[in-house]
Structure 1
């Protein structure tokens, strides 16, 4: 009878140990899962940060592009204005050309000398 009781006790102890081990394993698994989750969260955060950075960069690029476009437009406008002014001046220039004729002759003279 005593032997039987001892065996039962041993069995109970073994069961308890097994349970403890299982619990430990579960805890470890949970910890691992938590760690994995944390890692995933960190990765997600990093990804989000990267995305934000990319978005910021894109915005900056867009802004720069807009600025460049504005500058180009301004330059074009300036060029147009200059062309218009030149056209206006051209009439005056024609007058000057007649005056220049003399000069040209003079130049020719110089050349033959």
Structure 2
């Protein structure tokens, strides 16, 4: 599997919005790492909205949501609340007693769908 990371994989000098659009269109899945920072960041919101549109256009679930921290539902934008109904949702294991291999296997399965 190939992972697209903005700082590493986007060509320098290109328009950021076009890079995001092309990367999401070429991807099987888009993983949204949900945190309080994600909710406040305009580029994260833009990426999420492009992924939502990709799902609508292709008529397939393209988003995998990984909660990095607990966020009460009242703080989530309505777009994310709607995504939670259709997307695969995983919690990143912050507890050292939780076997991480279970999380990684679940993420691999979600990406492979």
Give the structure-2-normalised TM-score.
0.18
Higher helix share: 1
Query: Larger relative contact order (C-alpha < 8 A, sep ≥ 6)?
Result: 2
